Structure 1
């Protein structure tokens, strides 16, 4: 940790859907500057993979402009999970696999014979490349020569730290995100790593809070920053959202991190409630502690349900959707979430619905799925929503009615950015506010209760 706390922390936030650079005031909190771009998957080559060159170009251009506009004192990194990089001499030994690719399923039976038990890793078996151990197993089998050329494996935030500093690392929040590679109870690599002979491949485990090194001199010169700019090891994005809420607050609480994925963290919850068959797992927080969690691909499903044309419904629209029982049932991201084997369907032909009606149904769907996750976790205490769904009034109010708990919404645009910036200091708690009622009459009525009851029945819960 740097002796002098940097104030203007540029956070590279690599989400599954978008990549951002946000300059955060790490002392007072708040975002000083931001830029975003789509994060596209490249289809050519041996398999679908992250466009790391495009992200790198975005990052450097954004750093140049941010440094000129507000200044940059330090760099921190957060990125989505289920992703890592095999590096060798001169760069990547293999492209960074897109975790939605189904290639690893081809060796699923062989992988099942070597992966550790859920009780060791608290990592459920997931499809495609969602288990990072399955990715490595498939890459080793399908591309043995390239795999053999790899000198180190880096978790994804640390891959970007390596590109900025030249220092290789892995880190517990990304290793603890349903990878099969980490044993949270021992804070060590799982038995899979030894069984496969990957111990020498894994880059050293470093704390999320560690400064790996300064920005490489040639990059600092290009960006236009003088002196030494420290680069933090970084952490998994949902855990970045969680981090500010772990500071100075005791007792159980629930944090719902939203984005492409909706991840519910039951801080103070019990690990023995976790059900591997329902996409429940133990995440690992920035301090290395396991946190019972459940998740679903809520942002992706919301976009599919609204066809990417979300339009806020008014009270009359919501009342009509409730009265007519217009609803969507899980799951529109097969293989994940609390209903992994279900095929998503509508109660009516969605082509006949207006954009606000689809948005109302999608918001209610997301709230009901979140409430299911919280119920399965036995989540207690207040509920704080981070990320895009914090700005969805219908989602917030429905979740409050469904859960019976106080629901708060973080006012910052990206909880991930403030959490990642806080690695250089005590994370500034993003102001959380009580949610205003969307329409208390509609969501406290018997109509809403009947709607929720029917949804649960049809969803099989």
Structure 2
């Protein structure tokens, strides 16, 4: 008998994955693709959207022909802060602009002068002023600087919803994408911010559907439930919310290291906004106070340089054991600098110092989201959860907390499957989705 599964596309900036999960949420198939970026109409790097679309369609068509599995549903987890403009025929009308694309300063000034005080607007929308990382400002740029694209656009879809639309052919908006520092949502009013209506966008933004919504679709000769997609950071939180009832903070590590406190419902303060805090929205529409640190990116760049300086393979650092004596010696050293590698006697010392500096920054970023919540547990998932040195130093930085490396194999994909569990899975949600390994301070 074929095994019932859900197909989940987990679309990151670098890696694109297709996973098949069975009813116990075990991965029974995984395919990973790395894609080169292309450039947009002004020469800035951006996702190669036509290539991504073709790859996803081909990959799903291939797994639909498998005889040992029966695909019951499909859903998408994807990065946020990215918009796809589709025309009357449902085809992309322009490039998928990169959220790191420089934002025109004069346009930013015009926007904030017309939307009220910048600080007040950021409070209302739980979105620090981040230029293109505020997806609403991307749409504002298109309307005011690219009228031809704007006029061709029938619907504006957040990336996770567009990628799901490829299979459902029904356009929707969804809360975790809208709440991803877009500047579009009034968190207190629980509706689009008034500026969205003033710009005349309500007709271009598809109706908001709940994250668990599915559409029955015909894919080849198979009838499948298609989800509407979910923002990947919010998806990664789902397994934890379903398994743990006591308050916790999830530190989701990757290119960005995001500290998420689903139990802190205090309004963002000015100080928090100035330090890059924001609120996401959970799959159930409740706010999650979060802080961001570009630590994964900084780590990757520095590792390449340390490896080159000492003539070693960058992979070598993945296996380095934690040395508490080196950490103790470095505790009072100046901050790590890639310009001062000659002061280290070996690559291990340099790497320990790099990670120590990143953990110091992470400590500050994570403390920002604690608020007055009685949080005693810190779960770390993603790349740094597998880094022994990082985990030991983090436990040392938070001696009053229980610090765990948390393992949910492919947490974002599992979260995307869980939110539509009732549409495809005949069994209960498994009890032990998350595996934990505790780290304690090492003297």
Q: Give the TM-score range, shorter chain.
A: 0.7 to 0.9
The 8 Å contact of residues 239 and 434 in structure 2, kept in 1 or not, is answered as: no
User: Any gaps of 5 or more consecutive residues in structure 1?
Assistant: 1-5, 330-343, 445-461
Tell me: CA distance 1:40–1:212, structure 2 relative to 1, closer, same or farther (3 Å): farther
Cα distance, 1:355 vs. partner? 5.3
Aligned to 1:31: 27
Deviation at 1:177, TM superposition (A): 0.8
**Number of aligned residue pairs:** 411
- State whether residues 156 and 205 of structure 2, in contact with CA within 8 Å, keep that contact through their aligned partners in structure 1: yes
RMSD: 2.7
Equivalent position of 2:355 in the other structure: 363
Structure 2 residue matching 1:89: 3-state secondary structure? coil
Pair 1:100 & 2:100 matched:
yes
Structure 1 residues 351 and 188: CA distance shift in structure 2, 3 A: farther
Alpha-carbon shift at residue 278 of structure 1 (Å)? 0.8
8 Å Cα contact 2:20/2:30 also seen in 1: yes
Q: Given the alignment of the two structures, is residue 289 of structure 1 paired with residue 286 of structure 2, yes or no?
A: yes
Give CA deviations for 1:116-173 in whole Å, capped at 9, x if unaligned.
612211111114x101111111111221111111111111100011111211011111
Q: Distance in 1 between matches of 2:345 and 2:106?
A: 39
Output the CA distance in 1 between the equivalents of 2:333 and 2:40. Answer: 38
Q: Is this contact kept in 2: 1:181–1:189, CA < 8 A? A: yes
The answer to whether 1:154 aligns with 2:157 is yes
Give the SS at the match of 1:124. Answer: coil
Q: How does 1:291-330 map to 2 (within 5 A)?
A: 291-307=288-304, 309-310=314-315, 311-312=317-318, 314-315=320-321, 319-320=325-326, 322-324=328-330
Mapping of 1:21-420 within 5 angstroms? 21-25=18-22, 27-46=23-42, 47-67=44-64, 68=66, 70-90=69-89, 91-115=91-115, 117-127=121-131, 129-214=132-217, 217=218, 220-221=219-220, 226-247=221-242, 249-272=244-267, 274=269, 275-307=272-304, 309-310=314-315, 311-312=317-318, 314-315=320-321, 319-320=325-326, 322-324=328-330, 345-346=337-338, 348-349=340-341, 356-378=348-370, 380-404=375-399, 405-420=401-416
Change (3 A) 1:8 1:254: same
Change (3 A) 1:170 1:345: farther
Contact 2:341 2:350 in 1 (8 A): no
Give, in whole Å, the separation in 2 of the partners of 1:351 and 1:20: 41
Change (3 A) 1:172 1:316: closer
- C-alpha separation between the residues in 1 aligned to 2:227 and 2:143? 30
Residues 110 and 354 (structure 1 numbering): CA distance in 2 closer, same or farther, change over 3 Å? farther
- Secondary structure of the structure 2 residue equivalent to 1:85: strand
Tell whether the 8 Å contact from 1:211 to 1:230 is kept in structure 2 after alignment: yes
**SS across alignment from 1:247:** helix
Q: Could you tell me how far 1:411 is from its partner in structure 2?
A: 2.1
Distance 1:200 1:319 in 2: 62
Q: C-alpha separation between the residues in 1 aligned to 2:4 and 2:353?
A: 42
CA–CA separation in structure 2 for the residues paired with 1:72 and 1:114: 49
Query: Which moved further from structure 2: 366-375 or 314-323?
Result: 314-323
Deviations 1:317-351 (A, max 9, x none): 6643652569795xxxxxxxxxxxxxx94472379
C-alpha distance after superposition, 1:216-270 (max 9, x if no partner): x4xx22xxxx431111112110100111121253342111112221111112114
Distance 1:350 1:45 in 2: 43
CA deviation string 1:173-222 (max 9, x = no partner): 111011000122332111220121111111111111100342xx4xx22x
Per-residue displacement from partner, 1:346-397 (whole Å, max 9, x unpaired)? 4723797865445433433332222212211226231111222221122222
Q: Following the alignment from structure 1 to structure 2, what is the Cα–Cα distance between the partners of residues 39 and 97?
A: 16
**Aligned equivalents of 1:12 and 1:430: distance in 2?**
19
1:435 is paired with a residue whose SS is: strand
Q: Residue 433 of structure 2 is aligned with which of 414, 422, 430? A: 430
- The answer (yes or no) to whether the contact 1:415–1:430 under 8 Å persists in 2 is no
Q: What is the CA–CA distance in structure 2 between the aligned matches of 1:353 and 1:198, rounded to whole Å?
A: 59
Greater mean deviation of Cα atoms: 243-252 or 199-208: 243-252
Compute the displacement of 1:427 (Å): 5.7
Unaligned 5+ segments in structure 2 are 306-313, 422-427
Partner Cα separation in structure 1 for residue 322 and residue 175 of structure 2 = 47
